[in-house]
Structure formats: C-alpha cells, structure tokens
Structure 1
C-alpha cells in the first residue's frame, strides 16, 4: 500500500497550477459574436489496494477550448481538446491487454491512462423550442444509467453524432444517431479507445415542476470484430435494444422537509450483430427523504439475467452508462455479471455546518449490498464515503471505497484526493 505523500504533493501542485484566474464571462467580439473560453484542470491522486495487486496514480487532466456564438442566427461552434499526463507508472491504465506501455498486468487498473485527444468538435443551432447539434459531443440522458459521459474518469466519454432536441411546453423529445463511441480509455487504449457502430437514442415525455414521466429506446449495434476472442469484440456482445420508462417526482412536506421518488423499468434483448440471443429486464426504485440540508436515499436496483440465453446465462448490460456513478465507487460491476446484479443501498448526503477552514463542506456516505439476480448468491458489500469543499476557484474532494468480497471479485480498497478548477 502506498503512503499519502503523493496526495499532499498533488494538492500543493494543483494550488500553484490553478492560481491564475481566467475570464469568467463570455468575451464580446462585436454586437453579434461572443467567445466563451473553456478551461478545466483536474489533478488527482488515486490509490488502489486489492487482494493480489495494488496501484497508485498521480494524474493531471486539462481540457481547453472555446465556443463561438453568433447570436442572431442562434448558431455556435465549439472546439475542445483534452490531455492527461502522469507522474509515475505505478498502475495499469487498462483492464484488458492493450498494445501500450500503460498496460501493466502486475498492477491494479486505474483507468486514467495518458491521452491527448479532440474531446468535442460540434456545431449547434439552439432556440427555445429546438436544438440541433452535429459533431463530436457530450451526451447525458436522464440519470446517466443508460447514456452518459463518464465524468469521473480523466478522459470523458463522447459521441460522434447528430442530435435533435425539441420542447413544446411540458412535452420534451429528443433523438440521436451516433456512429462512434469515444471511450474513457483514451487514444492509447486500443482496441477499445473508440468503438464504431450504429447507435440510436430516443427519449421523450412530460416534465412538470413536480414530476417527470419519460419513455426511452436505445438501440446499439456495434460493428463486428474479425474474431470474437479479440479484446475489442466485447462490444459486439453489447449490441442490444433497450426500451423503458422512467418517472420521478417530489412532494414538499413542510418545515424544510420533502419526499422524492424516482424509478425506472426497462426491457433489453440482443440486437444487430450480437451473436447471442437473450432477454433481460431492469428495474430501480429510489425513495429519498430530505430534512433541511440532509437527504437519506434508499435504492433497489436490479439488472436481470436470462438463464436460457444462447451460449449460457447473460445479463442486462449498460455499456454507455456513466458507470462509476452506480453500484459502488470501487467499480467492481462495470460489466454486469452473467447471473445479473441486485444492488440494495442506503445513502446519506448533505451539507455540513460552516467551517471557516473548509467552506461549503459537503459529504456522502453509502453502504451497498450486492447479490446475483439468478440464484441469489451473495456477491459482497461496499462502503463509500466522500468529503468535498471549495476554496474558490478550486473544488476539493476526498473519497473512499471499500469492497468486501463474498462470492464475486476481490477485497478492494480505493482512496482519491482531487482538486479541480473549472472555468
């Protein structure tokens, strides 16, 4: 297990690196044109202690770019690059064999490999009732369970796509067709740096002040790989069609209290070039009680499995999700086990009383219990905890995850210390 010295070094380096403050408002080039700079610097120390392997990584990520907006035409053009570098080699950047010196199988995986890439390059037409976006872009749908940008990793997930969003009063509808998924593995992560195919996302419903009801359809057809035993062929097995409903709402209880409820149901089956034939279901329900500055959330999420699937049991998969957000921060279930997954969790979040040395202090504490959907075997349990605070212009985060294996994976402990400056 590594010591905390890299973390302290990382924090002090970030303080120096982000001490120069950037312009905080769009720059008017003339009466019709504005230029909005984009700067996002994030320095992170991550330490992993697994049963048989450990790892530590000190990484610096910088995103920079600008958006040019022509107000009369409602058209904007955005270009943004991203780069990640490291101060050591004590980790494996990939969990699979990759033709890169960042693949170090004797180390635990920290999926923040060094990378330089074009993160976004998009043209957008935006009015109140209609928005059309074409190019490499960030796509975040609902709670990110099915489609998201994977914001926790240093390299985010983006899509080469055309997207249309419309709204008429409470009615909302959007449709996207993408031909490439640019993954969090970065440019050095072949054969999974990016994945091609035909991806269609349709999402729409009614949104009011107190409640939202949406239906969705996500059709993923990954290009075929020459041989199914190649690392990149995993995506072909993720070709699927998913249809579902999501609802959420809130009810004020008075005296600073409120009750919220969110839930989803979905049905998934094989699609396109997937050589397997399966059908599985998904469900989640999340009641949350807020009292003042604190919220208690109970979650039951089930990613089902099909015992009679062609080639053996197969489960509900979410390959485009912001995966770190779900099923524990130790990232033990980025791919749903073949027998499915039941995740029961309790989470407490909130703001702590003002502390002069730690302004805007927030916290999260969670406990997960993991079981198989088929057979009900106990996989393990996990504790998560985090503290965040802000000393403008830097946001700080301390984060911890401890996974205790029972029938799946290995005992794993992860610690993060992070500082971020966003313009």
Structure 2
C-alpha cells in the first residue's frame, strides 16, 4: 500500500507518522511519500519519519519529494494537509478581522473565508493531478476549512472525504470521564465542520444506551472547562457543542480576549521553529512532547481509521467524516457537506440517519451552509462582490459596513494568492 501526504513537510507530520507506525496492522503501509516544496523542512521531517519507523520496527519505506506528480503516482490514498501562505497568512487572518470587532480565526468568519479563497484553487489543482495520475486514489482532506474544501472536491467529482479531529478528541475525553475504552463510545455527532454538537453519547454503537445526561451530570464541569463555556449553558442545552461554537456563543468575549494576547499563529510559529530544530537532531526517533501543543490531537488515529476503511483493510465501522449531505439533513441542499457519523467502506462514507435537529442548531447550520456555498463560489469565480456577499452572509459578520471593510482588507492582505485581484 502506498500513501502520499501532500504538505508532508508540516510539523504535524510526525504525529501522523507515529500513528502509521503504531497502527501498522490496521493500515499496512509499504511506502509513505511526503510531498512538499519546502526542501529544508521536508528533509528534517522526512529524517524524523524514517527514524520513527525504524524505532517501531515498521518495514515500510519513507520517500520525500517535491514532485507532486511522482509522489501521487500509484498512491492508494492521498492525504492533504497544506497551508497556502504559511503561518504568515494565518497571522494576518487572525489579526485584521479584529480591527472591525469580528473574530479573527483561521477557519471561521472573515479569516476562514480568506483561507478558503487561498486554498480551494490550490487543492483543486492538486486533485486534478491526482485524478490524471491515479484516478482510483482516495483523497482525504485535512486542510481547513475542511467543509468548504471537501465541498469543492466533491463538486468537482473527486473521490474525497473530509477529516477533522474534533470528534475523535471528544470521544477520547468522554471515554476517560466514563471509564470505558474509546471504541465503546459512539457519538451522535451532527452539523458542519467546526459547527457541530454531540446530541448523544452512546455506549457500544449507534443503538447503544445514551449516557450523555449522565456524562453532563457527573462531569459537566470538566466538559465545560474544556470547551471554555459556562456549565449552566451546557445544562440548558443538554448537548455538548464543539469548542468552535464558543466563537458564536461568546463572540464578543472572545474578541476581547484575542485583542489582548498574542495570536495563535504567533504561538504556533514559535513552536514550529522549536520543533524543526528538534527534528534535526539525529538522535530523536519519537514525536516530541511539544508536538501535542501544536494541535491536531488524535489526528493520526483518525487518519489511519479512515484510510483503512476506505481501502478495505479494516478501521472502525462508524466514523465521523465530512461528506455530501444527500438528504441527511433534509433542510440543507444535497450538495452541502455535513459532518456526521457514517458507515465507511471501500465505496466511501454512507451517513447514518440523523434525528430531526432542534431549530436552535438547525437555524445556525442552515445559515453557515448558505455562507459556505457563497464562499465556495467566491473561491472558484473570484470577484469583490462575491467576497462581500459571503461575508455579509456569515453570522459572525452580518452587517454591511463590516462586510464592506472586511472585503477590502481581505483582498489587500491576500492579493498575491488571488488570481483575480
């Protein structure tokens, strides 16, 4: 089996490689190809990847290359984890929206739209090259904003599934609270990427006992602290929102916080410098502890599970993925991309039935889905007016004066990445 990681020079990659090494019986990789144009980073990350494989006795070989076409040729699956513009672009995404009193964040609001506009054309070009070289390969997208990027891929007819680590992170935390193994915890997970709620926590599978009320009663304080939301809010909702819902439920509070501390991008950039220095140590043959602070917890386990299921070699029978709605949420268009539990196999994901969604959540999901459709059109076709319409539609913006100003700033900060600007 050959698996290719585009963006393989990322400091995330050793987390992924560690999972490939530990879970080799689930996903028996013979060749792992790391593709990245940044030669110096790729050399450091590739060297550590080979040492991790060697330490754990993995028989597969690790290949590094800047040649995308060669890297994806013959691959069974291609995993996308790229960041167009690097941490410098992320720093801007997290900064200029704050000047208008709006959340500055890399996957939602104005910053998320900027990332989508930079990313969608690049990802689609990569996917076309994968299709020309190896049309049977599955594309697994971990590149944010996952919902919009996955929608772009599926709309263009690619064999693609979107992946996020939010659900697996919550599954692991809930299992620890309940004193059970993660495999015993099944989440009734519903919504859009970075806009989801756990409406049930079941033991043993989709038909198992719902222990969410007990989880909230006995561990609500710990869950609320993880989400940085008030415990009384969780009790009133009776569900567990993704921590990204804090940008909606406590918008002004978050803006005030973000204005008074260094950006997350600055923190990550500093960590990346340290990590790359560590990766250059020829004695290092395990992922360093600092990597856990970089983000992407359990990403490798989710990726192994998904790739194994898609390639027919195993994996969990049910997984949370980003895939076409196709009636799963009947109030959304069929071509919207939802993040839900699905049965995953060689033919791709088949979403499980979802009970009627409470209007409190359905309304926000419908709103953000409309924004994502407008955002995708702006990414594909360009134009100031399309950017403005997407910003005006976003519930974290919604006022024309803000949308006007943010449109100008988005274009000004991203002109080098926008072919139409």
Q: When the two structures are superposed, what TM-score results if normalisation uses the length of structure 2?
A: 0.26
Q: When the two structures are superposed, what TM-score results if normalisation uses the length of structure 1?
A: 0.26
Q: Which has the higher contact order (CA 8 A, sep 6+)?
A: 2
- The answer to which structure has the higher helix fraction is 2
Q: Which has the larger radius of gyration?
A: 1
- The answer to which structure has the higher strand fraction is 1
